[in-house]
Structure 1
């Protein structure tokens, strides 16, 4: 059995920030991450994003817990969902929509691949 302990996720050093693939206007958001575990169709880690808007297509099912920042996610054809530190999302596979990050966001995540 393996146990991955994500300690002090707010202070964890992440990858070099890179611009998002499909930005909408300025500023262009940049993301960084640190993967902790990848096994048996499951991936866990920490992800961070600076302010900006972009189109997102989430191909796998994902659970995420926001530990810093705020913004909205608007699913295609749906209403905006505001979130802030302490909130969590469960997104089904193939979720499409627009992220609008207002304050740099950091989240822990679990991606479930099929």
Structure 2
């Protein structure tokens, strides 16, 4: 089984432009980029790096997600909940069907695992 290493993932320049977010709340809309990492044995789970420019948008990932923030700062406000300040170094665990809004204050980069 191969092991993938992304040296200095916070500075990796191999991300691909994915365009604007699907449900922007700010203009211009946030833009995203990513690097998908194929992980043998992960089944349908998705893994990789993801980056987003400043702005705000609605979360629309229906699956459970684990993320570790490598760079940036933001506020996530879950639907019906209190705003949470998030910054580089934080690790988050989102249950499936978590909704809310992201306010990206500083361009954010994360490692993610989306669980199917």
Shared fold, TM over 0.5: yes
Instruction: Determine the C-alpha separation between the residues in 1 that align with 2:76 and 2:45.
Output: 23
Residue 52 in structure 1 maps to residue 55 in structure 2: yes
Residues 43-67 of structure 1: CA deviation (Å, up to 9, x unaligned): 2100000000111122111100001
Kindly state the Cα deviation for residue 41 of structure 1 after the two structures are TM-superposed.
2.7
Instruction: Determine the C-alpha separation between the residues in 1 that align with 2:77 and 2:111.
Output: 20
Matched-pair contact (CA < 8 Å) for 1:27–1:51: no
Residues 59-89 of structure 1: CA deviation (Å, up to 9, x unaligned): 1111000010001111111111110000111
Runs of 4+ in 1 over 3 A off after TM superposition: none
Q: Which moved more, 1:15-24 or 1:48-57?
A: 15-24
Is the strand fraction higher in 1 or 2?
1
C-alpha RMSD of the superposition? 1.4
Residue 81 in structure 1 maps to residue 103 in structure 2: no
| TM-score w.r.t. length of structure 1 | 0.91
Kindly state the Cα deviation for residue 40 of structure 1 after the two structures are TM-superposed.
1.1
| TM-score w.r.t. length of structure 2 | 0.89
Instruction: Determine the C-alpha separation between the residues in 2 that align with 1:60 and 1:11.
Output: 27
Structure-2 residue corresponding to 1:30:
31
Where structure 1 has 5 or more consecutive residues not aligned to the other structure, the ranges are none
